[in-house]
A and B are shown apart, each in its own frame.
Chain A
């Protein structure tokens, strides 16, 4: 929508889907919940009684308290309406210099799409507080490949830099100032530095809160016996450590929504926790990750061992063959798989991240992965000898054997 590739109307679901399924849809704001009366009070004055209540209020973009964030031309991107506002601004103001604050997947995906817009040649600067792009997905050496690729595409990368001020004239953005003293000219600024859960309703009605949101048990039940909650507004927990995590992704939210329905229908299926599996396309490069990077694993107290293997999308002699790289991260103590990262020049290998995901949840170890057998075909996979999961596991095996 931002890049004008699709109108907003093309990606929304019609209310007909709900009407056809006898689901009432109310367009209004829920102002408060009375847990004693079991009622939701709407801003339009209506009161809705419930027997069971599901909360899925999501999150809002986090705007850091920096001078100038309220200037015209400064945007964050979270919702469809944000995308439409950005598109309208670009149509009307014709900006040339775009600055992205934050080098996560939203920033990079949008920046790449805009860079490719026909008839435009935007100057694009990317500013990131951490030392490399996609810091939540990739270890530094994997990220360096992405960083170099983006520089080749014309992005100016400002890594390890803190924004101190956004300056402007007559209420409109003109530049972004960094702690280093550098000033970057800007006609438009995208602030994509994370989001914060929408907790007002839950807090005001007295629901127990966790570190990052509404506290829930493994069945997504809150501290109120008739209220469940899921998605960005809950205190999600990590699959491996079971510790609270601030991960906010659409995939788990959808699974949690369906899981709450199953719970209310009498099933007893616990939510396993998040691994943060995610994927992004930046120009022609696909990046996917799940579980812990080596850096994150170390922070969590593991002694990790990482191993990367190069592979290809097809057998070497097949036209159109493209390279891809897989990195696996294991725990030296237990030899269990903790995470994976993929960089690929084609789409299909990126979805191997779901295999890595399944191998983590299956508790697989280095030795077990050395015997993993994959389907092989010249047109859709590497040769079996270049299958990167076993190659990476074999490298890890050598590394842990040397240590022993």
Chain B
């Protein structure tokens, strides 16, 4: 499992004692979609842009106006 993870850039993660293999880090050109633009969505989008200038970021929100404090 460790060798496979190394080769494919996967990381073994657990959730509720289940094991899930996932590629955690995003790559150049990939698309991050964020649903919601309240406490989570706005900060997630702005920090993602700061740390990953080469990905595409889309935020989907229902509200015409939103508050980010």
Q: B-contacting residues of A (Cβ < 8 Å)?
A: 8-9, 11-13, 17-18, 21-30, 40, 42, 48-58, 79-81, 201, 208, 210, 215-217, 219, 221-223, 225-226, 230-233, 250-254, 256-258, 260-266, 268
- Report the Cα distance A140→B30, complex, angstroms: 53
One of A55, A215, A226, A251 near B22 (C-beta < 8 A): A226
Question: Considering only CB atoms, which chain B residue lies closest to A11 in the complex?
Answer: B67
| A40 engages B60 (CB within 8 Å) | yes
| A23 engages B15 (CB within 8 Å) | no
- Report the Cα distance A178→B47, complex, angstroms: 48
Q: Is B5 an interface residue (CB 8 A)?
A: no
| A30 engages B60 (CB within 8 Å) | yes
> Which of chain B's residues have a CB closer than 8 A to the CB of A13?
42, 66-68
Given contacts A81-B63, A250-B69, contact A260 B44 (CB under 8 A): yes
Q: A-contacting residues of B (Cβ < 8 Å)?
A: 13-16, 18, 20-27, 30-52, 56-69
| B66 engages A54 (CB within 8 Å) | no
| B23 engages A254 (CB within 8 Å) | no
> Which of chain B's residues have a CB closer than 8 A to the CB of A8?
65
Question: Considering only CB atoms, which chain B residue lies closest to A42 in the complex?
Answer: B60
Question: Considering only CB atoms, which chain B residue lies closest to A235 in the complex?
Answer: B16
Given contacts A223-B18, A225-B21, A262-B51, contact A40 B35 (CB under 8 A): yes
Q: Report 11 cross-chain contacts, Cβ distance below 8 Å, ordered by A residue.
A: A12-B65, A25-B59, A40-B60, A52-B30, A55-B35, A56-B39, A221-B22, A232-B39, A233-B36, A261-B50, A262-B51
> Which of chain B's residues have a CB closer than 8 A to the CB of A23?
45-46, 49, 57-59
For residue A200, give the distance in angstroms from its CB to the closest CB of chain B.
Answer: 11
Other A-B pairs, 6, CB within 8 Å; known A13-B42, A27-B61, A254-B43 = A21-B46, A22-B57, A40-B33, A49-B31, A221-B15, A261-B50
- Report the Cα distance A50→B44, complex, angstroms: 15
For residue A125, give the distance in angstroms from its CB to the closest CB of chain B.
Answer: 29
> Which of chain B's residues have a CB closer than 8 A to the CB of A26?
58-61
| A253 engages B60 (CB within 8 Å) | no
> Which of chain A's residues have a CB closer than 8 A to the CB of B41?
54, 56, 257
One of B20, B32, B37, B51 near A223 (C-beta < 8 A): B20
| A48 engages B65 (CB within 8 Å) | no
Given contacts A26-B59, A30-B35, A55-B36, contact A230 B15 (CB under 8 A): no
| A216 engages B35 (CB within 8 Å) | no
> Which of chain A's residues have a CB closer than 8 A to the CB of B50?
261
| B25 engages A264 (CB within 8 Å) | yes
Given contacts A26-B60, A40-B33, A56-B35, contact A257 B66 (CB under 8 A): no
- Report the Cα distance A185→B20, complex, angstroms: 56
For residue A278, give the distance in angstroms from its CB to the closest CB of chain B.
Answer: 13
> Which of chain B's residues have a CB closer than 8 A to the CB of A18?
45-46, 59
Given contacts A230-B44, A254-B39, A257-B47, contact A266 B68 (CB under 8 A): no
| B18 engages A50 (CB within 8 Å) | no
> Which of chain B's residues have a CB closer than 8 A to the CB of A79?
63
| B40 engages A231 (CB within 8 Å) | yes
| B65 engages A257 (CB within 8 Å) | no
| A266 engages B25 (CB within 8 Å) | yes
One of B16, B21, B25, B56 near A24 (C-beta < 8 A): B56
> Which of chain B's residues have a CB closer than 8 A to the CB of A27?
61-62, 64
| A257 engages B20 (CB within 8 Å) | no
Q: Which of B16, B26, B46, B65 has the most CB of A within 10 A?
A: B65
One of A11, A57, A222, A225 near B23 (C-beta < 8 A): A225
Given contacts A257-B42, A257-B44, contact A217 B59 (CB under 8 A): no
